[in-house]
Structure 1
Amino acid sequence: MEDLSSYLLTLLADPAAWAALITLIVMEVVLGIDNLIFISILSNKLPAEHRSRVRRIGISLALIMRLVLLSTIAWIVTLTAPLFSVFGNEFSWKDLILIAGGLFLVWKATKEIHHSVDPASGDICWRRDKADVVISNIGGAIFQIILLDLVFSIDSILTAVGMTEHLPIMVIAVLVAIAVMLLAADPLGEFIHKNPTVVMLALGFLLMIGMVLIAEGFGAHVPKGYIYAAMAFSAGVEALNMWQRKSHERKAAARTAASGGDPSI
């Protein structure tokens, strides 16, 4: 106990440890955005009374997975060891998990885009009794969230391991990032639900993230800064479009009010 106390006090007094903590928190929050977008899109397909609960379950599962992986950090590091080689390219467990997660994201995003463009082609389960549909969708949503939580959690923990060797710093960064996700979950989910064009943008983000995961699984490193810069630019353009639409709506409402309720004037 004395050794642990002195170790923690040494970390508290070390400016480099604080710098590593702040940097890692920012990285974990940014990486958590991908996870949160996926959870928001899935939960928005459920009835309104179940959405918040499913979001919290998904984020809680992400926290549990990250903490479990941190407790087995020595094993996590071994996931980067090569398993086999194909045409000179070495593949590890991490690579295989990233490729599988990327393929799943690409498949899911493509399916959701197709459903958004052509709702009539939705799953036959929507024709069943409403109670059965709700139960089926909640179970299916949580199962898909678990799969992506695993992929994002492994990516998150390996990023943390690469940035610092101090476990307390990793745990604090993960806890802060999950707390931010919990706070942002409902507002983000409601925002996406109320703005249909944002759904298509978010699905485009998931497609891009899926392709990046596949590329990294095959050994092609894509700087995360480029990815998030592209996402921020797209989000900025969409924000301008939304602002323009709201401005037109306000002007139309003002004209209708001025004309005594006759929109044709």
Structure 2
Amino acid sequence: MFNLEMPPLNAETWAILGTLVLLEGLLSADNALVLAVMVRHLAGDLQRKALAYGIGGAVVLRILGVLLASYVLEYWWLRAFGALYLAYLAISHFLKKGHSEDEAAANAKGRGFWATVVLLNLTDLAFSVDSILAGVALIPRDMPREQGLTIVVIGGIIGLILMRIAATVFLRLLNRYPAFDNVAYALVAWIAVKLGIETLEAAHEVFPAVPTFHMPTPLFWGVMAAIAVIGSFLATRRPAMSEARAEVRAEQVVRRMDEVVADAADGRVDGR
């Protein structure tokens, strides 16, 4: 069921992997930032313990998401759900009034330890679904499922690695230029359109009455490139803080995560 096959390393495959690196980096950094904010109201030792559960949940849910991606690639009606969810995700991001950090802090404030842990893992679930569905949506519909699943697995591994290896880079980028969040979700919105069109194509094969469309590959990647270039230009025009302050804030989050991992390795997650 989970047979993997390496896809051909052509221009489209590299474009997919490059897009996954960008999206996984931004979403993983946003995830790490939100987790750190959500535990601020707890006492010092409980912050570390709750964050350990949150990081552990992120890893487990990402692995489960990669396994479930096999079903999404196989059944057109699950792809329809994925397209609708990604579209909802992008629309809700642009319609909401507050920043995700402020919203996360407000939701977690006043909650007890276990309630915060549950909220952390629900947040992890949302980010895992976001990234896995985006990976699935990037897979060409005519690509063999085994090759598509391989790309999704690579994307999942990239996400786990970027949660630590490149966390400082992407956190610093988001701290200094918060509008890069908008670039990521604009890309997600266009990916949702692609997945929706492919879902209609697949549904048309089963139900001929369903209208069908086709999106040329050059059109999809052309719009993706335009969103990335224009969005990056607009995002960098208004820095929210100095580069030095952005780096300090990013290093604080990463240092806290490193302490959690070190404590877990020593059997001291509870701070004792």
- Report TM bin, short chain: 0.5 to 0.7
Shift of 1:225: 0.7
Instruction: Please tell me whether residue 203 in structure 1 is matched to residue 185 in structure 2.
Output: yes
Look up the equivalent residue of 1:139 and give its one-letter code: N
* Cross-structure match for 1:218: 200
Larger Rg: 1
* Cross-structure match for 1:230: 226
2: CA distance, partners of 1:106 / 1:127: 29
2: CA distance, partners of 1:215 / 1:172: 23
Distance 1:146 1:138, change over 3 A: same
- Whether contact under 8 Å (2:197, 2:214) holds in the other structure is yes
Instruction: Please tell me whether residue 241 in structure 1 is matched to residue 237 in structure 2.
Output: yes
Look up the equivalent residue of 2:86 and give its one-letter code: L
Distance 1:44 1:107, change over 3 A: farther
- Whether contact under 8 Å (2:61, 2:125) holds in the other structure is no
Gaps of 5+ in 2: 1-5, 38-47, 202-212, 244-272
- Whether contact under 8 Å (1:25, 1:174) holds in the other structure is no
1: CA distance, partners of 2:159 / 2:197: 26
Look up the equivalent residue of 1:103 and give its one-letter code: L
- Whether contact under 8 Å (2:58, 2:128) holds in the other structure is yes
1: CA distance, partners of 2:191 / 2:51: 24
* Cross-structure match for 1:104: 85
Instruction: Please tell me whether residue 140 in structure 1 is matched to residue 122 in structure 2.
Output: yes
Higher helix content, 1 or 2: 1
CA RMSD across the alignment: 4.6
Distance 1:246 1:238, change over 3 A: farther
* Cross-structure match for 1:47: 36
Q: Which moved more, 1:48-57 or 1:222-231?
A: 48-57
Instruction: Please tell me whether residue 20 in structure 1 is matched to residue 8 in structure 2.
Output: yes
Q: Which moved more, 1:172-181 or 1:107-116?
A: 172-181
2: CA distance, partners of 1:122 / 1:98: 29
Describe how 1:79-228 pairs up with structure 2 within 5 A. Answer: 79=74, 93-94=75-76, 96-113=77-94, 114-116=96-98, 125-129=107-111, 131=113, 134-155=116-137, 159=140, 162-163=142-143, 177-185=155-163, 186=167, 187-219=169-201, 220-222=213-215, 223=217, 224-228=220-224
- Whether contact under 8 Å (2:86, 2:192) holds in the other structure is yes
Distance 1:193 1:175, change over 3 A: same
User: How many residue pairs are counted as aligned between the two chains?
Assistant: 208
SS in 2 for 1:136: helix
- Whether contact under 8 Å (1:56, 1:182) holds in the other structure is no
2: CA distance, partners of 1:200 / 1:58: 23
SS in 1 for 2:124: helix
Q: TM-score, normalised by structure 1?
A: 0.54
Gaps of 5+ in 1: 1-16, 80-92, 248-265
